[in-house]
Chain A
Amino acid sequence: MSQKVKDASIPTIPAKARFSRWFGRNLLRIYMIFGFTYLFIPVAYTFAFSFNDSGKSNLIWKGFTLSNWQNPCGAPEVCNALGNSIKIGLLATTFSTILGTMIAFAIGRYQFRGRSSSNLLIFLPMATPEIVLGASLLSLFLVFKINPGFWPTVIAHVMFCISFVVVTVKARIASLDPRLEQAAMDLYANELETFRRVTLPLVAPGIAGAALLAFSLSFDDFIITNFNSGTLITFPKFVYVSAARGIPAQANVIGSSMFFLALAIVIAGQLVKRKKTR
């Protein structure tokens, strides 16, 4: 590491300063350990209690069992709620990624009249608290006599995911080297070909990241969902509703699996990236 080389090459630093430097560096390291411990305590707790032989209410440790993992649908509402959340998440991700990516290209690639107000329209949903988004959409549905349920929830999720997709994809577009596209044009690719064979592959990781973000936002959303889903139960809603009488350990199984699944996807993405850059 460069730090060590630097230290060795400057032997004249007084001992006290060297100590404070060492301390400073390790203080941050110690801090990092504490920070990550803090972040992971509830995750570890959730994971540990997914093995609890708890019966209905998962409050006190009663003994180790694998049965919750072997039978994650043992509490029937859990899997029903999970299925709804996945369906809504996939639909919301698809629509918001398509709409958001188009907007991102428009704002990121073109100068046009109304560009700054377009930016504002993208920023506003992010600057509005979830409860206001949820409540206002519900009152619109009520006016048009649309019952809250599956599709209103999908619409609500698409609405709040679009902005996050735009911001993520736009950042990727902004970081592109324009010379790559110029090179393609110099090699007689027309605009459409350049887009398809150069621009889109380069932006693709940004779009994939945006889709992943949209799915996790949708999957984990509670407030907006609570307003627009009516009697439909999603996974977060199930957890919230059953919190009072105790959550079945199967919910912990699903929460933990989502964690490991997402971790696996992200790490796989990193590995693919590393292979490509080599």
Chain B
Amino acid sequence: MSFPKVRVPYLLLLPGFAFLFTFFILPIINLAQTSTQTPIAGGDTGQYEQTLAFGNYIQAFVDNKEQFARSFVYATLATIFALVIAYPLAYAIAFKSGKFKNILLVLVVAPFFTSFLLRTIAWKQILGEEGFVVPGLRSLHIISQQTTLTSTSVAVVAGMTYNFLPFMTLPLYASLERIDPRTIEAAGDLYANGITAFRMVTVPLSLPGVVAGTLLTFIPAAGDYVNAAILGSPNTKMIGNVIESRYFKIVDYPTAAALSFTLMAAILILVTLYIRKAGTEELV
């Protein structure tokens, strides 16, 4: 090869990183600028000038602290539920499925391919007034005549849990599958019963998968607005819904940018703390 070997990795990186710099880093910098703009005096809606109005952040946060809190509570709940549902599933596929392992793994990902919007709307219709679940539960007197399942926070959290479940299951499976079954047998040889072996060997060894799965679930869940829009009500609005409507309906770019930036910063801080705490540095 004609170029010195040291340059090879940089040449390989160049096109991709140039792209990421232009369309990921630059927009984030631009977003930071936009977030401190103020409306032009006497200008039309949607016209802003560059100032250093950091008050935008305070204003945006104070106006929307409820939605912020809701986003983080919903995302945390959805992550916990997804972990509780996905761990046994991933465990069963990794250790108990024998020759069906690959098929089952494909089946976990398969629902993905029916558009997630179609599936979310399907849930809405299944659990809605015209579906069969609500009338059924009502006639069995399990829920009262007034209770609905859609347009509630429960429905939003359930929808997020459902939609992000494969993001949780796959990393969990990957780390469980890598565990050498002999290490679990060894725990048994050392007189650990099944539960102790699971707690002392399997769980710690699957921790990288738990960390990756919870991150892959929590991050998109915190910024999601689709589930809240389809399955929720005005009382279940998340920060994503606010950002979306600030952009498209109110054309208030600075507030939308300030909210986006706050959301990103909050998530990055939480993620960093979490990774520190969980002690797995090598994630990607």
Chain A residues packing against B (C-beta within 8 Å):
1, 21, 24-25, 28-29, 31-32, 35-36, 38-43, 45-46, 49, 59-60, 99-100, 102-103, 105-107, 109-110, 112, 115, 118-119, 121-133, 135-140, 142-143, 155-156, 158-159, 162-163, 166-167, 170, 191-192, 216, 219-220, 222-223, 226-227, 235-236, 239-240, 243, 247, 251-252, 255-256, 258-259, 261-263, 266-267, 270
Contact = CB atoms under 8 A, between A and B. Distances in A.
Contacts of B156: none
Interface residues of B, number: 82
Interface of B: 1, 6, 8-10, 12-13, 15-17, 19-20, 23-24, 26-28, 30-31, 34, 85, 88-89, 91-93, 96-98, 102-104, 106-123, 125-126, 130, 162, 165, 194, 215-216, 219-220, 222-226, 230, 240, 243-244, 247, 253, 256-257, 260-261, 263-264, 267-268, 271, 283-284
A99 B116 contact: no
Nearest to B17: A121
The majority secondary structure among interface residues of chain B is: helix
Contacts of B125: 45, 59
A120 B13 CA distance: 13
A138 to B, nearest CB: 7
Given A28-B96, A46-B118, A135-B256, A130 B220 contact: yes
Contact of A252 (B93, B118, B264): B118
Contacts of A247: 118, 121
Contacts, number: 247
A139 B240 CA distance: 16
A239 B17 contact: no
Nearest to B12: A106
Given A123-B283, A127-B267, A129-B263, A239 B223 contact: no
A39 B117 contact: no
A21 B194 CA distance: 9
A222 B267 CA distance: 21
B280 to A, nearest CB: 13
Contacts of A155: 23
A263 B110 contact: yes
Contact of A222 (B6, B104, B110, B226): B226
A172 B162 CA distance: 29
Nearest to B194: A24
